[in-house]
Structure 1
Amino acid sequence: MPTINFNEQNIHYTLRLDKRRKNIQLRVLPTATVEIIAPGKLTSAEIEHIFTAKSRWLTGRLNKLSSLAANPVNQQLVSGAQLLYKGEPHTLTVLSGNSKPEVVLKPAEVIVKLPINNTEAAPVFMTEQIVKAWLIDQAGKLFLDKTKDWAAVIGVRPVRITIKDQKTRWGSCSSLGNINYNWRIIMAPPRVADYLIIHELCHMLVPNHSVKFWEQVSRFSPDYQECRKWLTDNGKLLSRIL
């Protein structure tokens, strides 16, 4: 894989040709590899120019990846690891010998009880399945109650509320009044969860992202810009596991 010296470090990059494109696009992959998507072949000089022109953007993306890699939260699901829940890191404790799968929430701790006699012999996916099912269940309870509360405040009536497993969207509201939430938001701070609920409910008033829409959002979530920034800065952290 070719490399380029960028900000005094060697960065791997790939070049993917797409004749349908009119412009050059850059993507920073989770591996810190830069993918260049171009309509035709590029010379080494042209690639260097692209890196120079996008220097500020690339530096920001690479720094975020570096910070994410250094953050111990949501790295893995084993005893002693850190799991984000409602915006706070919780230490994960995995125990064996329980009659059935169970998750117990304590202050700053999430205890996972496995239906197996030896935690070392338990496959990792067993812990992952139990934790994911618990988080989805917690998200369902939280979002159902909060959506009803905020709907009454905003003055709308959603038809259906669904918890979904999505990697790229936090929520959505259909023209029929059906609202979907990404269960991973259960890991975000409560004020961010409230913002997302308000955001989707306000789409029942204004079905677009016009100035009028954001005016409605700001009525009920004055700090919505800070919440949006939190999701932008921490979105990959929420999706890193499960």
Structure 2
Amino acid sequence: MRTVLGAPEYRDGNGFIAEVIRTSRRKTADIRVEEGAVSVIVPVSTSIEKIDQLLLSKRMWIKEKMALQRDMATASSKQFVSGEAFPYLGRNYRLKVECGPFSPAKLLQGRLVVQTPEGSQQPHMIRNALVRWYKRQASLKIREKVKRYAPIVGVEPAGVNIKTFKSRWGSCTAKGELEFNWLIMLAPNRMVDYVVIHELCHLIHHDHSPEFWREVMRVMPDYQQCREWLRENSEGLVV
């Protein structure tokens, strides 16, 4: 797992906002575009000037990647304007859009507050800010739940990672690492519990055998209701 130092930094890439992640685990820079959100992972001592030069040199590639991901993204009816509701762990929170320099989304007084510059790219930047916020919450909340339920299941995962999956909520790798789809944060809290318990149980049984389901039921007797809810509502869990 990478070591990330300090608070997040953001750079304006002229049409996109890049999150700067400084890490002691890298000797070279790396640019990633996930869900249309741009991240640049750099060694700790990398200067802002060098980061800006890198983003400028890769601007065309970044824009092409963002456009491709927008075309492939699951259709959403959201317009990313103030007043729209976004679900988080079973509750809806109204979006509040403020104009100004880009800053991370925050949950303040029952509202999801996003600050971005005005312009044609604003809806896209607002979505990026919300995706980043959901991913941060997923990283915090899911790790808390893994820590809570792992002793009950009687296992210890090798690691916990947050991913983007198209058709599943989680996975258990051959190395014993658990991976979770950040979109589960749009579901009620109990559904997140179910997904965490489900993947933890895969550390004991790597299939969906009767023994596996008995283990899930031992920890979560109402798991079938959660499983059914996700089957019926998964298509609506999009940002």
Q: In structure 2, the residue corresponding to 1:212 is in which secondary structure?
A: helix
Instruction: After the TM superposition, list the runs of 4 or more consecutive aligned residues in structure 1 that deviate by more than 6 angstroms.
Output: none
In 2: Cα distance, 1:193 partner to 1:78 partner: 27
1:156 equivalent in alignment to 2:155? yes
1:91 equivalent in alignment to 2:94? yes
For residue 210 of structure 2, what is the aligned residue in structure 1?
A: 211
Q: Which amino acid aligns with 2:160?
A: I
Cα displacement (A) at 1:108: 4.1
Q: In structure 1, the residue corresponding to 2:86 is in which secondary structure?
A: strand
Cα displacement (A) at 1:203: 0.7
- CA offsets per residue over residues 162-213 of structure 1, 9 Å max, x none? 1001121110112321111000001111111000000000011111111111
Pairs within 5 Å for 1:32-111: 75-97=78-100, 99-106=101-108, 108-111=110-113
Cα displacement (A) at 1:122: 5.0
For residue 115 of structure 2, what is the aligned residue in structure 1?
A: 113
Maintained 8 Å contact 1:74/1:82 = no
Cα displacement (A) at 1:76: 3.5
- CA offsets per residue over residues 85-119 of structure 1, 9 Å max, x none? 1121111111112x4413221454211122x2x4x
Structure 1 window deviating more from structure 2 (227-236 vs 193-202): it is: 227-236
In 2: Cα distance, 1:209 partner to 1:107 partner: 42
In 2: Cα distance, 1:89 partner to 1:167 partner: 23
In 1: Cα distance, 2:155 partner to 2:79 partner: 40
For residue 134 of structure 1, what is the aligned residue in structure 2?
A: 133
Maintained 8 Å contact 2:90/2:186 = yes
Identity over aligned residues, as a percent? 37
For residue 188 of structure 1, what is the aligned residue in structure 2?
A: 187
Q: Which amino acid aligns with 1:185?
A: I
In 1: Cα distance, 2:237 partner to 2:77 partner: 7
In 2: Cα distance, 1:197 partner to 1:176 partner: 17
1:171 equivalent in alignment to 2:170? yes
Does the C-alpha gap of structure 1 residues 108 and 144 become closer, same or farther in structure 2, counting only changes over 3 Å? Answer: same
In 1: Cα distance, 2:109 partner to 2:193 partner: 22
For residue 55 of structure 1, what is the aligned residue in structure 2?
A: none
Structure number with bigger Rg: 1
Q: In structure 2, the residue corresponding to 1:134 is in which secondary structure?
A: helix
Q: In structure 2, the residue corresponding to 1:222 is in which secondary structure?
A: coil
Maintained 8 Å contact 2:106/2:133 = no
For residue 7 of structure 2, what is the aligned residue in structure 1?
A: none
Cα displacement (A) at 1:74: 6.6
For residue 237 of structure 2, what is the aligned residue in structure 1?
A: 238
Gap runs ≥5 in structure 1: 1-68
Gap runs ≥5 in structure 2: 1-74
Maintained 8 Å contact 2:79/2:123 = no
For residue 44 of structure 2, what is the aligned residue in structure 1?
A: none
Q: Which amino acid aligns with 1:111?
A: V
Does the C-alpha gap of structure 1 residues 195 and 238 become closer, same or farther in structure 2, counting only changes over 3 Å? Answer: same
